[in-house]
A and B are shown apart, each in its own frame.
Chain A
Amino acid sequence: MSQEHIDRAINREYAAGFVSAIDSDTLAPGLDEEVIQFISQKKGEPDWLLEWRLEAYRGFRQMEEPKWAHVHYPPIDLNAVSYYSSPRSMKDGPKSLDEVDPQLLETYAKLGIPLHEQEMLAGVAVDAVFDSVSVATTFRGKLAEAGVIFCPISEAVHSHPELVRKYLGSVVPRKDNYYAALNSAVFSDGSFVYIPRGVRCPMELSTYFRINEARTGQFERTLIIADEGSHVSYLEGCTAPMRDENQLHAAVVELVALDGAQIKYSTVQNWYPGDAQGRGGIYNFVTKRGVAHRDAKISWTQVETGSAVTWKYPSCILRGDNSVGEFYSVALTNNFQQADTGTKMIHLGKNTRSTIISKGISAGDSSNAYRGLVRMSPKATGARNYTQCDSLLIGHRCAAHTFPYIESRNPSAVVEHEATTSKVSDDQLYLCQQRGLDAEKAVSMIVNGFCKEVFKELPMEFAVEAGKLLEVSLEGSVG
């Protein structure tokens, strides 16, 4: 197959790249204490939260941008970013979906996320976050019957202050790292979930993040608390318009799984990746972490195909005895995308177990790095980790890197690590084509086969979606 073929096969268009003509209130670019006060005031926050933000900001100002990741990009001018943008029609907040701007509903419908209850995906409750605010949360009544709280975090600050105050920053401290500190200072909205003791959440919860406005950053904050013995499965999806300039997305996600609780967190990240020449795209600098108490389980599944630069390590602190952490990841980079992603499994409790399955796919001129830490603390007697880290290269201009860190301070702990690197070979493509498959179908089939172990962890409707997304993202990539 010729290079031209392969290129054609991999370079399809970014389908979510449209801009919605929505009248927005957007704060002038720039970052200082006044901006933080403005955001806090806009949301009518209590004093403690404003103080919390300002403290994070003071910490942030002492910090330096991390440089250790295997990614390269020009310096980001944080003063050129607008830290708050809200669709104007949201000013007084819609009381129900009927009051939501039809333009907004249309945007989500275009993205395949219907917010009208009658059209909604059965069994999936959606919170939609547009730029800095949550525009709609569906199925809230049905969830309330089960005692489940699923609402914008800005609302939870008022309706459930005790929970927010207790857990906000409990997993990712506000000065944890440069981007987490920035987020803590300026976060605008995001989802809040609380599952009461012993409750199995009756449906999948999902948040859909959309950046629309130019020159804005998105700094959402998600907090999920699963009380003792409860279960929840949560999905997150992301898209942004195509723009020539880079946009910043610095989110924080905190998960708390109390004794015996289970949280399954799935992400399909499809932020705008930039064009084929590497112009534009989202800088995706995200801190995601969960704490698992005794007998609890946290499972991260991510399919990362978007963003110009990704810096993201969904992690588990296995605090309680017998707790379990899992990380299943597919990260695909094409053209000039760069990803440095992986996980941290911090084993503190006895008999804690973790599994890491990472599949990195690099195509075009992209660079894809897996970075993982497995730490066995002195008290983690009988702890076990299994890591499998596979890289697939498409073409000969891309790169794959693996940076596994293992720290074991307990002689009874067992850590296993397996890694492979392979190529989509000309012979594989030839076999497929000789049987009548075109190059595009052949590449996507080979890549899907490579990702199978991760896809099977995704909720059903997402698994199909993820397969299609890979196909689109791969267009134009073999060589």
Chain B
Amino acid sequence: MLKIENLHAGVDGTDILKGLNLEVKSGEVHAIMGPNGSGKSTLGHVLAGRPGYNVTAGSATLLGQNLLEMETENRARLGLFLAFQYPVEIPGVSNMEFLKAAVDAQREHRGEPPIDAVTFMKKARETCKIVDLDPAFLKRGVNEGFSGGEKKRNELMQMILLEPRLAILDETDSGLDIDALQVVARGVNAMRSENRAFVMVTHYQRLLDYIEPDHVHVLADGRIVRSGDKSLALELEARGYAWLEEEVA
């Protein structure tokens, strides 16, 4: 589904990713761990097409299409979803309006008519239940005055409604208490399917107790330096990253 080869990318001429390779197959869940500054968040933004991030070498394809040449919105319409680490507020634009506009933009891209308001309302209310948000949040401005945990759950709600093919979760677990973490895990696990893949960027093994990954990768200095199964995460939890970085050096 997602294939990244020898990817070099960064911001303002500084390379942060330095030859990254990764392949994610449909139905898989990958966890990407690594020390601060190793390039974990950069990877998500480069794939999503954040302005200001430049690719200097390598390739990345999603469903066989060259991601790096596509506009940000077209990557999203192809089925790439990024759950933001720090979701921004859009005052005055109701969550409902925003969600429907996003869903309709993607439907339009697939040649489908806009979803009718009643059906969508029902779906949105059901999703609120899954992510444990009061339906009143639908009427509030996007992330406007939401707590950190509410913002993360709102990201999850968007993911569920948009039904992406590839979801990248950028430290969605950070700053969450254990109850909220379980809500996130429940949402992701419910979404797992043969047609969908997940890439979870995280600092902590804790999340992986709830969402069991098929593969775990360690990112250090812009490259994947070790890959393994979930036992690698446990090892990292016990030993930290320093030994790996030394080994690589």
The residues of A with any CB-CB pair to B shorter than 8 Å are 1-2, 422, 425-428, 430-439, 441, 445-446, 448-453
Contact = CB atoms under 8 A, between A and B. Distances in A.
Contacts of B82: 434
Nearest to B88: A427
A449 B72 contact: no
A468 to B, nearest CB: 15
Question: Interface size bucket, B side?
Answer: 20 to 34
Contacts, number: 80
A430 B72 contact: yes
Interface in B53-83: 71-73, 75-77, 81-82
B101 A437 contact: yes
B73 A425 contact: no
A450 B162 contact: no
A422 B91 CA distance: 11
Contact of B162 (A428, A435, A449, A453): A435
A452 B94 CA distance: 10
Given A431-B84, A450-B92, 18 more contacts: A428-B90, A431-B142, A432-B102, A433-B72, A433-B76, A434-B72, A434-B75, A434-B84, A435-B158, A436-B73, A436-B106, A436-B162, A437-B73, A437-B102, A438-B71, A439-B73, A451-B92, A453-B92
Main SS of the interface on chain B? mixed
B19 interface: no
Contacts of A432: 90, 98, 102
A433 B82 CA distance: 11
A427 B81 CA distance: 16
A422 B84 CA distance: 22
17 contacts: A1-B51, A1-B72, A426-B52, A428-B89, A428-B90, A430-B51, A431-B90, A431-B142, A432-B90, A433-B73, A434-B81, A434-B84, A436-B102, A438-B105, A441-B105, A445-B101, A449-B93
A2 B53 CA distance: 12
B91 A435 contact: no
Interface of B: 48-52, 71-73, 75-77, 81-82, 84, 87-94, 97-98, 101-102, 105-106, 109, 141-142, 158, 162
A391 to B, nearest CB: 13
B88 A425 contact: yes
Contacts of B105: 435-438, 441
Contacts of B75: 434
B48 A434 contact: yes
A426, A428, A435, A448: most-surrounded residue (chain B CB, <10 A): A435
Contacts of A438: 71, 73, 105
Main SS of the interface on chain A? helix
A425, A430, A451: most-surrounded residue (chain B CB, <10 A): A430
Nearest to A455: B92
A360 B113 CA distance: 35
Contacts of B50: 430
Given A434-B72, A441-B101, A449 B90 contact: yes
A432 B106 CA distance: 12
Contacts of B158: 435
Contacts of A422: 91
Contact of A434 (B76, B89, B93, B109): B76
B76 to A, nearest CB: 4
A425 B91 CA distance: 12
Contacts of A452: 92
Contacts of A453: 92
Contact of B77 (A428, A430, A436): A436
Contacts of A436: 73, 76-77, 102, 105-106, 109, 162
A428, A437, A445: most-surrounded residue (chain B CB, <10 A): A437
Contacts of B76: 433-436
Given A430-B50, A430-B51, A436-B73, A450 B91 contact: yes
B91, B92, B102: most-surrounded residue (chain A CB, <10 A): B92
A427 B82 CA distance: 13
Contacts of A425: 88
